[in-house]
Structure 1
């Protein structure tokens, strides 16, 4: 019976992965590919199962760990990571097994342990945010803030009493985010230390840079505008909420 259950689980996994890769147009855009090139301001390289965007000049005190959404390649977040790095924040976009953060919840662990001189905030897009919050809940002494991009925590990622600031960014034309669960999840967030931002005209896929996501609403702002607003909101939160906690 155990063998049947094991192979049954493997079959289900294969079917889910096959469905996901065909259902989601998650190929990184040309803009994402271009953004992943090193520049005079930053170096881009791969290490610790992550794409790392490192400022060449003096960096800010916090580094950022970003978990991608389900079936989304880490490269798709290069435009956002580039802006954060250009603002002085070293940014790690984690590469997940099968492009699913549910299989790589602890991939932030070696990044943190091998860079002990850095201070970290962690977060993610969609499913990535859920798993990032679970990691943060289990490693509260190692994390200085948590951010959600069209995402929310579940019970295992309860941050209400964690004593760290939280940022939640959503978009008005997002038709993928489950609004009922999003509202319900607020009970797992700190009441007086959560910053909420809504990007008017943005959608779910606009937090990355990849193809259209099935079931999503139409974006009425440009992709670059949504990236700009996401980056500026994160940078403002880092400066006013995370750094002020110290």
Structure 2
């Protein structure tokens, strides 16, 4: 028994060190907001589960947003601020280690029993998790789902629902798996609204600099942020008619 303990203890310590090192690494490599995004973030309220951009309008649907993998919530502050200014409050979800897969149902905590209508969406991996949430919480309050450089997997398929869906992509996206994106269209309603931002890239759906593997954008980040906000607002306005 003592011999077994002498073997197990070093292994346990090594495992703990490995896990701790992994956590430190993920935190250190997370994409951080640009100066412009940090400025926009000042209009938000930080809560335990989200970065909240309030609106004076108390009738329009809430917007719940799941960030992409390893992207900090504040990185989406620019378009979120613009959408909130149009009357749609925005909640950018916070996840452990900035990974939506570690807390996919955080939207329930964000909504906190609210009876107000809402839409949910996400960027990249965040969109996949948001889609799964929507599939499992398709009720009268959920009014639509949106994707930014993202698509549903089979667990988040929405083709059998009547939910309005917006799919935003960018022509210079070098991170999105375009083949899988096309294949995943079978999981979306035939009424899905597809929009593409010409000259934009994957990282341009937020404001956190160049993402590994991405193509260089042919438009400024400010221009892409404005287009993201405009497309999302136009879609929301249609839902709110």
TM-score, length basis structure 1:
0.86
Distance apart, 1:12 and its partner CA: 7.8
Residues 93-112 of structure 1, C-alpha deviations (whole Å, 9 max, x = no match): 00111100001110000222
How far apart are the structure 2 equivalents of 1:30 and 1:45? 18
**Structure 2 unpaired stretches of 5+:** 1-7
Distance apart, 1:243 and its partner CA: 2.6
Residue-pair matches, total: 231
Task: Identify if the C-alpha distance between structure 1 residues 52 and 216 changes in structure 2 by more than 3 Å, giving closer, same or farther.
Answer: same
Residues 116-139 of structure 1, C-alpha deviations (whole Å, 9 max, x = no match): 2x2110000000000000000000
Which residue does 2:166 correspond to in 1? 167
Query: Following superposition, which runs of at least 4 residues in structure 1 exceed 4 angstroms of deviation?
Result: 6-24
Task: Identify if the C-alpha distance between structure 1 residues 236 and 9 changes in structure 2 by more than 3 Å, giving closer, same or farther.
Answer: farther
- Once superposed, what is the RMSD of the aligned Cα atoms? 2.3
Aligned ranges for residues 1-246 of structure 1 at < 5 Å?
Answer: 20=26, 26-38=31-43, 44-56=44-56, 58-116=57-115, 118-141=116-139, 142-191=141-190, 193-240=191-238, 242-244=239-241
* Rg comparison, structure with higher value: 2
Residues 163-186 of structure 1, C-alpha deviations (whole Å, 9 max, x = no match): 110000000000100001000000
> SS in structure 2 opposite 1:232?
helix
TM-score, length basis structure 2:
0.88
Mapped contact 1:23–1:214 kept (Cα < 8 A):
no
